Amino acid sequence: MRSGMCAYNLLMCTGLFSNSFLEAQAPALLFLGQTIVLGTGLYAVRLGMGRGAFQTILIAAVSRVSKEAAENVNRAGEVVLPSFMDVELIYRVALPLFLIAGVWGWWLRKTHRSIFSRPTADYPLELTGFGRVLLFMILPFELLCVMGFWTLQTQSGADTVYRSMSLIFPWGVYMSVVAVVARLLWHPVLVRCKDSPQTPLSMAHTAAHFALTMSILAAVFLGAVCLVLGVRAAWVVACLSVQLLLWLDFSRSMQLRVFLLSSQSLADGARAGTPQDQRARLLPVRVADCCVWGFFTLWYFYASGHVCSFGALHIEAAFVGFEKFYFLPGGFLLLLDTYGPGHGMCLLLLPVLVAVASRTSATRRAAARAHGEGVEFVRRVAQALAGYQFLFSFQFVSQPSWGCCVVLFQLTACPGMHCGVCVLCAEAPDGVAAIRPAVHI
Amino acid sequence: MVWRLFAPQYIFDMTQLIVVDVLSVLVLALTMRWGSYAFVDTTTA
C-alpha cells in the first residue's frame, strides 16, 4: 500500500507541473486511470489470469460509458421525464437502478459466501436477524424510494399534490442510513455462532466479515448519494458501482493468484517462494490499487457534474426531502452531493480493499502472529486511511503560501493517526485492548 | 496576492481534504469498534 501511495503522489506532482493537466484534469484523469487499469490487465495475463484481464477490459469499457453519462449530467435545462410506463422512463430510471441493485447484490452475495463457504463443522455460523435484513432488503428498499421520488418529482404533469407526496420517499432513505450507521456503531457484528451467540468469531472469518460489514455500509450510503445526485446522474452512479466492485473483485483474485503461485514455488523448493518474492510480485497490484482508487475518486467528482467553482454547486440537492432551505441539513446534503460519489464511496470501500488484500499476504501473517490478528488488521486499515488522506494534500503544492501548511499538517497528522491507533491497540485497558484472537478453527 | 488564497480551486481542495479527514476518522472509529467486538477474548473472562 505504501509504495502505491508514493507512486500516486509522484504522478500527481508531475501532473502539477503541466498546465494542461490542471486545465483539463477530468479527461486526463480518465485517460491515466484507463491506462493503469489496462496495464494491470496485461500483468494479469502474464500471471495467467484470463478472467482478470477480461475484468480490466470491462472496467475500462465502463469508464467510456461513464464519460458519456457525465456529459449527460452537465446538460442544461430542467429534467422532465415522460409519463409512466414509457420506454424512455425504463431506460433512464429503471435500468440504471436495476444495474446498481444487481451489481451490489452480486458483490454482497460473494462476500457473504466467502464467510459461509469455509469449513465450519464444529462452529456453525449464521447471520443475525438484522444482518439478514441489511444484506437482502435495505438497498432494494432505498432504490425503490429513489425511484418513487424521481418519478413523482419529474413527471411532466407534476402538480403540488405529487410534489408534497414525494417528500416521504427521501425520508425513507435518510432514516435507513441513520438506522444502519447507528446500529453498526452500537453493535457492528452481523454474524454469530448458531449454538452460542456470545462466542467471538474466529481469525479465519475476520477479514471476510469486515468486508461484508463495510460493503453493506457503502451500499446504504450509495442509496443516499444516488437520491441526492438526481435522475440525470443515475447512469453515473451505476458506472461507479460497477467499476469499484469489479476492481475489488479483480484485486482479490490477483492477490489470491500471487499467493498460490508463491506457495507453489515454495513447495517446489525454489527460492522464488520467499515472502520477499511474494511482496515483489504483489507490488504492481498494490501500486495499481492505490492509483486506481485515487483516479476513481477524482474522476467521479467530475463525472457527477461538479467542477471547482461555486456556480457549479448543485443547489437543488439541498432541497431533496425539504420544502425550504434549512442551513444544517441543506449544507450536509450539499456536501453529500459534492463529495459523496467520489470521495465518500472510495473512502468507505477502502477498508474493503484492505480486507480483501490482507487475506493472503505472508508478511501480514507474520505480523499478525507477532501482534495479534485484530491489532494488526486495525493498524492496516489505519495505515490505508492515513495514506488516502495524504493523496489529496499534494494538490496544494502549486500554492506555496498555505499549500506548505497543508502538506506539513498532513505530514504530521497522518502518521499521528497511525501511531495513535497503535498506542490505543497496545495499551488501552479495555475495549480495543481486548482485541486478541480468541478462537482458532 | 491575498485574493488567491480564496480562489475556488483551493477552497474546494481544502474542503475535500477536510471531508476526507473527517470521514476517514469515522471509518476508523467503526473499524476499531468492530475490531473490539470481533476479537474480544471472552474465554478468559
The string of pLDDT tens digits covering residues A210-219 is 888 889 999 9
For residues A160 and A164, give the distance between their C-alpha atoms in angstroms, rounded to a whole number.
6
The string of pLDDT tens digits covering residues A317-336 is 888 888 888 899 999 999 99
Interface test with A, best of B31, B33, B37 (most A CBs within 10 A): B31
A94 or A432, greater pLDDT: A94
pLDDT at residue A272 is higher than 60: no
Give the one of B9, B25, B38 whose C-beta lies nearest to A189's C-beta.
B38
The string of pLDDT tens digits covering residues A381-410 is 888 888 888 777 766 655 556 667 777 777
Low-confidence winner among A192-196, A377-381, A382-386 (lowest mean pLDDT): A192-196
What mean pLDDT comes out for the span A47-57? 90
Which residue of chain A is at minimal alpha-carbon distance from B5?
A: A402
Give the one of A399, A402, A437 whose C-beta lies nearest to B39's C-beta.
A437
CB proximity list for A430: less than 8 A, separation 6 or greater: none
A contacts of B38 (beta carbons < 8 Å): 188-189, 200-201, 206, 209-210, 374
The segment with the largest mean pLDDT, out of A56-70, A83-97, A297-311, is A56-70
What mean pLDDT comes out for the span B15-20? 86
- Counting residues of chain A whose pLDDT is more than 70, the rounded percentage is 70
The string of pLDDT tens digits covering residues A414-439 is 767 767 766 666 544 343 433 443 33
* Residues A28 and A20 sit within 8 Å (Cβ to Cβ): yes
Number of A–B residue contacts, CB under 8 Å: 132
A108 CB-side CA count, 13 A: 25
- B12 CA to chain A: closest CA distance, Å? 6
The answer to whether the CB atoms of B8 and A217 lie below 8 A apart is: no
For residues A16 and A399, give the distance between their C-alpha atoms in angstroms, rounded to a whole number.
11
Give strand pairing partners of A192. Answer: A126
* Residues A286 and A3 sit within 8 Å (Cβ to Cβ): yes
Spatial CA neighbour of A147 closest among A215, A217, A77, A100: A100
B39 DSSP 8-state letter: T
Task: Cite the beta strand spans of A101-190 per DSSP E.
Answer: 125-127
Cell of A287: 501500486
Name the 3-class secondary structure at A125.
Answer: strand
The segment with the largest mean pLDDT, out of A43-52, A236-245, A301-310, A392-401, is A236-245
Question: Please, which residues 14-33 of chain B have a Cβ atom closer than 8 Å to chain A?
Answer: 14-17, 19-21, 23-25, 27-33
**What average pLDDT does chain A have?**
77
Helix-then-strand count for chain A, H and E: 18, 2
The answer to whether the CB atoms of A417 and B25 lie below 8 A apart is: yes
For residues A192 and A199, give the distance between their C-alpha atoms in angstroms, rounded to a whole number.
7
pLDDT at residue A44 is higher than 60: yes
